[in-house]
Amino acid sequence: MTTDAAAIAEVLGGPEVLGREIRSFADLERAVMAGLPKAAVRHVAEIVFPDARRVEQILATLEWGLPV
């Protein structure tokens, strides 16, 4: 199974969140190394956890180091 860099970028929120177009794994690596915006983490959490309350719990855990 292969996954392209653009598909991964869409899971992270796409160019609107990442601030750039991702066309290759090199582009994706540069974006990640530059630091992912908090909005990218939120976007992934909203996909993984459809319950909005759970998303907020996960984000609080990441931001404040609180237990889940």
**Does the pLDDT at position 2 exceed 90?**
no
The whole model's pTM is what? 0.77
The range of the structural domain enclosing residue 11 comes to 5-64
Helix (H) or strand (E) holding 21: none
DSSP state of 19: S
Alpha helices in the chain (DSSP H): 5-11, 14-18, 25-34, 38-48, 52-64
Residue 50: predicted pLDDT: 87
The 10s digit of each residue's pLDDT in 5-36 is 999 999 999 999 999 999 999 999 999 999 98
Closest CA to 4 of 27, 33, 38: 27
Number of domains in the chain: 1
